[in-house]
Amino acid sequence: MTMTHRIIPVALCQQQYGADIDANRARNLAAIADAAARGAKLVVLSELHDSLYFCQTENVDTHDLARDLSHKGDACRPYAEAAARHGVVIVCSFFERRAAGLSHNTAIVYDTDGSEAGRYRKMHIPDDPAYYEKFYFTPGDLGFRPIETSLGRLGVLVCWDQWFPEAARIMALGGAEILIYPTAIGWESTDTADEQQRQREAWISVQRGHAVANGLPVVTVNRVGYEPDPSGATGGIQFWGSSFAAGPQGEFLYRASDDAPGIEIVNIDMTRSEQVRRWWPFLRDRRIDAYGPLLHRFND
């Protein structure tokens, strides 16, 4: 097969964040500038990158952090401007205020001219001790639609979505050329070391599985470092970093540290999927006549 290879240098920005929002934003803008200077064309930040992971407790006052995400909003303008200034596509993640008492966990993609290429509102919302997201985020209402950019069609999903093969598959069926997961996940302090490693490996395995099942590269960016639980109810979260990129056979292209920040640029061959899907044409053989039970809660 003769084919022109289309390579995208993707920056995975694995950062630690603190309570100072201005400082977090400055750190992200510096990371974008650094990544662009090193040749990145696509920059991926982790989930809710302007703040601490505030879902460790349920506090009505925390809704003050939610922001109007119209183009001129203070939360997104610096990122839109950075995209234009550096000529890069940026995948951002915000706490979106839509109305009083109605907020979302929203990813926005800015294109190289600073325009909003599209947004995705997190569809699957977790809720377990120290991750009280159902309190803060209304489940997304935009469906699973790839975002068209000057670099290609991006299948942007967010964190908890990563456990759901349905989300990855619908993105692939919508023509996504890459799956991208901004994430905030870590260990609870009372888990054993064995259990911690099982959790981290499970998180990696399921996403490599999405790459394989869909013949698509996957880029996942997690935050790193310890954040205390403001309520003191738990021992806080040690975010496990471990950001990674995998090719369309699930093969690792890059794996970040589990305990240190870093900005890595990974060359992703967007044409590799063409070859892999010719070998393994799973989309050819799906039994759409028999998948009706997927639309049920449970088939008992």
Task: Give me the residues that bind its own copies (CB under 8 A), please.
Answer: 123-126, 128, 139, 143-144, 160, 163-170, 173-175, 198-199, 201-202, 205-213, 249-251, 279-283, 285-288, 290-300
Give the span between the Cα atoms of 137 and 140, in whole angstroms.
8
Active site residue 47: yes
Q: Shortest gap between Cβ of 286 and its own copies (angstroms)?
A: 7
Q: Shortest gap between Cβ of 176 and its own copies (angstroms)?
A: 10
User: Which among 176, 181, 122 has a CA at the least distance from the CA of 154?
Assistant: 176
Structure-token pair, residue 86: 């550096």
Question: Measured in Å, how far apart are the chain's first and last C-alpha atoms?
Answer: 48
Q: Shortest gap between Cβ of 165 and its own copies (angstroms)?
A: 3
Active-site residue, selected from the candidate residues 13, 41, 47, 177:
47
Active site residue 41: no
Active site residue 159: yes
CB under 8 Å to 139, separation ≥6 — which residues? Answer: 121, 122, 123, 124, 125
User: Which among 82, 80, 81, 108 has a CA at the least distance from the CA of 94?
Assistant: 108
Structure-token pair, residue 85: 């200034």
Specify the residue, 85 or 124, whose C-beta has the smaller distance to its own copies. Answer: 124
Q: What is the chain's percent helix, strand, coil content, to nearest 5?
A: 30, 30, 40
Specify the residue, 7 or 202, whose C-beta has the smaller distance to its own copies. Answer: 202
Give the span between the Cα atoms of 52 and 70, in whole angstroms.
22
Q: Contact at 8 Å (CB) between 258 and 264?
A: no
User: Which among 241, 243, 292, 251 has a CA at the least distance from the CA of 273?
Assistant: 251
Specify the residue, 80 or 212, whose C-beta has the smaller distance to its own copies. Answer: 212
Q: Shortest gap between Cβ of 11 and its own copies (angstroms)?
A: 25
Active-site residue, selected from the candidate residues 159, 177, 227, 264:
159
Specify the residue, 64 or 251, whose C-beta has the smaller distance to its own copies. Answer: 251
Q: Which own/partner contact pairs does 162-167 have at CB distance under 8 Å and 24+ positions apart?
A: 162/203, 162/206, 162/207, 162/210, 162/220, 163/124, 163/206, 164/124, 165/206, 165/209, 165/210, 165/213, 166/294, 167/123, 167/124
Specify the residue, 263 or 268, whose C-beta has the smaller distance to its own copies. Answer: 268
Q: Shortest gap between Cβ of 156 and its own copies (angstroms)?
A: 15
Catalytic amino acids? 47, 122, 159
